[in-house]
Amino acid sequence: MDKFIIEGQTPLRGTLAVSGSKNAALPLMAAALLADSPTTLQNIPRLNDIYTFNNVLRVTGTLVNFDEAANTLVIDPANLSFPESPYDLVRKMRASFYMLGALLGQGGYAKVSLPGGCAWGPRPVNLHMEGLKAIGAEITMDKGYVIAHAPGGRLRGGTIRLNPSSVGATVNILLGAVKATGRTVIENAAREPDVVLLCKALNAMGAQISGVGTDTLTIEGVSGLSGITFTNAPDRIEAGTYMIAAAMHPDSDLLITKLDPQDLGEFTQTFKQTGVTLEFADDSVRVKAPEKLIPVSIKAEIYPGFPTDLQAQWATMLTQASGKATVTDHIYYDRFSYVPELGRLGADAVLTENTVAIQGKTPLQGASVMSTDLRASVSLVMAGMVAGGTTEVLRVYHLDRGYENLEVKLNAVGAKITRVAE
C-alpha cells in the first residue's frame, strides 16, 4: 500500500488541468450495455474505479478496450452473455450496482451482488430495488446477491417517487426504464450533473427522456438503442477540491483548466464568501487566495446545494480560516472519519452528530495520518500541504480511486509530495 510523504507550507501557483469525471463516467459505461452497437466514451479518467468497472463489464462477456493514453473507452456489448456481477468486484466499487438496471434493461435478467457498506457506514440500496420493482422487475435475494427478472423479458413503465432523492437510484431506474414498454415517471429524481449527462447520452442513443435537469424525469420506452461516441464531463468534485486547496495558503494563485463552471452549483457562491478571488472563463477558473480567509459554514445537500463530496475538503480549509464555522452533512450523517486525523495535525475540530465545528486559524503540524475514504484522503493531502514539517498520508490507494495523477498535478504547481511504496 503506497503512502505520500508531504513537505508542508507550499503555496499552489501555476496551471492545473481537471480530468474526466469519475461519477459521470460510471453511469455512461453502464448505459453502453443497453446499445445494439459499440459505444466510444471520451475524456474517461485513468482511475482505479474505472479499471474496476471495466472488469465488471468484461465479466458479462462485453468487450471493453481502454486507450489510456487517449482517455478513450470503447464498449461493445455484442457478446454480452453472462448477466452477472460478482461480489469480489462489486464490493470494491459500489457503483457496480448500476449493473442491475443495465442488465435488466438490456436482457431482462440480472444477478448482481449487494454492494455492502463503505468506509463511513451503511449505503442502502432499497430505493434502487423499489424503483426497479415499480417498473416490473421481480426481485429475490440469494446469499448476498440480488436476482432480478423482467417478466416476458422486458420491464414495463411505472411511476416512482424517490425519498430521499438518490443519484444511484435515479441512474439505476433510468437504465431499466429506457427500453421498458410504456411510460416511466421518476419523481424527486436526482438533478446532479452526472444524471443530466446520462440522460443526454441515453437520448443520443435513441431514448426518449424529458424533464432532463429537473426533479421529474419522464421516460417513453423504446425498443432499441444505438451505440454512440460521447464525451464525458470534467470532474466537478476534482475541480472543487483544487479550488478549495488553492484557498488554504495566502500566497496561492492557481489556474484550474478543463472544468465546467456550470456544474459547480451553489458551491461557487459559497466559496466567494471566503474572500477568495475567482476569475472564471468558459472552461477555467483562476483562484487567488485572500490574505485572511473568512470562515463560512456549509450544509451538504443534494444538487445544486453544496456537494457532500466536498465537505471534508471544506472542513480542512476552515482550519486555516480566521474564526469558527461548521460543516454539516445532511446526505451522509457519519462521513466524518477525517476529523480525528485532522486533530492529529493540530486542528481544533469538534464533531457533534453530523456537524463538525472548526476553530481557525490553527497552524497545522505534520504527522502520520490515515486515509479512510476517497474524499477524506484528499483532505489530508490538502492539510499536509499547509502543515509545518512533514506529513505522511497512509493508504493512498483510496486517492487512486478518484484523483487522476494527483501528486503529479499538485507537484507541478508547487507541492512537495513523494509517493512511497509501503
**Residues acting as catalytic residues:** 118
Shortest-Cβ-distance residue relative to ligand EPZ: 168
Give, in order, the Cα–Cα distances in Å from 371 to each of 99, 188, 378.
Answer: 28, 34, 8
Which residues inside 122-141 make contact with ligand EPZ, applying CB under 6 A?
123-128
Give the residue among 117, 132, 140, 201 at the shortest CA–CA distance from 162.
Answer: 132
Instruction: Looking at residues 354 to 393 of the shown chain, list those that interact with ligand EPZ (rule: CB under 6 A).
Output: 374-375
Q: Cβ closer to ligand EPZ: 230 or 306?
A: 306
Least distance CB 239 / ligand EPZ (angstroms): 13
Distance CA 114, CA 147 (A): 10
Tell me which of 144, 151, 164, 213 binds ligand EPZ, using CB under 6 A. 164
Stretch that binds ligand EPZ, among 84-92, 121-129, 312-320, 411-419 (CB under 6 A): 121-129
How far is residue 130 CA from its own chain's centroid?
23
What interhelical angle do 311-318 and 374-386 show, nearest 10?
A: 20
Residue the block writes with cell 475567482:
278
Nearer to ligand EPZ, 94 or 249 (CB): 94
Of 10 and 19, nearer to ligand EPZ (C-beta) is 19
| Pick 276 or 302: Cβ nearer ligand EPZ | 302
> Any contact of residue 331 with ligand EPZ (CB under 6 A)?
yes
Kindly provide the residue ranges of all beta strands, DSSP E only, lying in 19-149, ordered along the sequence: 39-42, 63-67, 72-76, 84-85, 109-113, 138-142, 145-149
55/390 Cα distance (integer angstroms) = 37
Residue with cell 443534494: 302
Q: Which is nearer to ligand EPZ, 103 or 331 (CB)?
A: 331
Q: Does 352 bind ligand EPZ (CB under 6 A)?
A: no
Applying the rule CB under 6 A, the residues between 296 and 315 that interact with ligand EPZ are 308-309
Here the cell at position 364 is 497545522
Q: Does 272 bind ligand EPZ (CB under 6 A)?
A: no
- Asked if 27 and 69 touch (Cβ cutoff 8 Å), the reply is no
Q: How far is CA 63 from CA 33, 37, 172, 395, in A?
A: 10, 11, 21, 32
Q: What percentage of the chain's residues is helix, strand, coil (to nearest 5)?
A: 35, 30, 35
Nearer to ligand EPZ, 76 or 235 (CB): 235
Which residue of 40, 166, 311, 377 would you call a contact of ligand EPZ, by CB under 6 A?
Answer: 166
C-beta of 406: minimal distance to ligand EPZ in Å? 14
Among 75, 95, 207, 342, indicate the residue that binds ligand EPZ (CB under 6 A).
Answer: 95
Q: What is the DSSP string of 377-393?
A: HHHHHHHHHHSBSEEEE
Measured from the CB atom, the residue of 300 and 415 that comes closer to ligand EPZ is 300
CB 54 within 8 A of CB 45: no
The nearest distance, CB 373 to ligand EPZ, in angstroms, is 7
Residue 102 or residue 364: which is nearer to ligand EPZ going by CB?
A: 102
Residue-by-residue DSSP string for 223-282:
S-B---EEEPPB-HHHHHHHHHHTTSSTT-EEEEES--GGGGTTHHHHHHTTT-EEEEET
Size of the site for ligand EPZ (CB under 6 A): 23
CA 82 to chain centre: 27
Residues 176-205 touching ligand EPZ, rule: CB under 6 A, are: 190, 194
- The answer to whether 117 contacts ligand EPZ (rule: CB under 6 A) is no
Q: Given candidates 150, 167, 205, 219, which one binds ligand EPZ under the rule CB under 6 A?
A: 167
169 touching ligand EPZ, by CB under 6 A: yes
Cα 28–chain centre separation: 13
- 244 φ/ψ angles, rounded to the nearest 5 degrees: -65, -40
**Closer of 4 and 120 to ligand EPZ (Cβ):** 120
Q: Answer whether the bond into residue 164 is a cis peptide, omega within 30°.
A: yes
Which of the stretches 74-82, 166-174, 205-213, 348-356 binds ligand EPZ when contact is defined by CB under 6 A? 166-174
CB of 309 to ligand EPZ, least distance (A): 4
Residue corresponding to grid cell 486547496: 245
Taking CB under 6 A as the rule, does residue 30 contact ligand EPZ? no
d(CA 254, CA 287): 5
Using CB under 6 A, which of 381, 402, 403, 404 touches ligand EPZ? 402
Using CB under 6 A, which of the segments 139-147, 165-173, 258-266, 285-293 binds ligand EPZ? 165-173
Q: Enumerate binding residues for ligand EPZ (CB under 6 A).
A: 23, 26, 95, 123-128, 164, 166-169, 190, 194, 308-309, 331-332, 374-375, 402
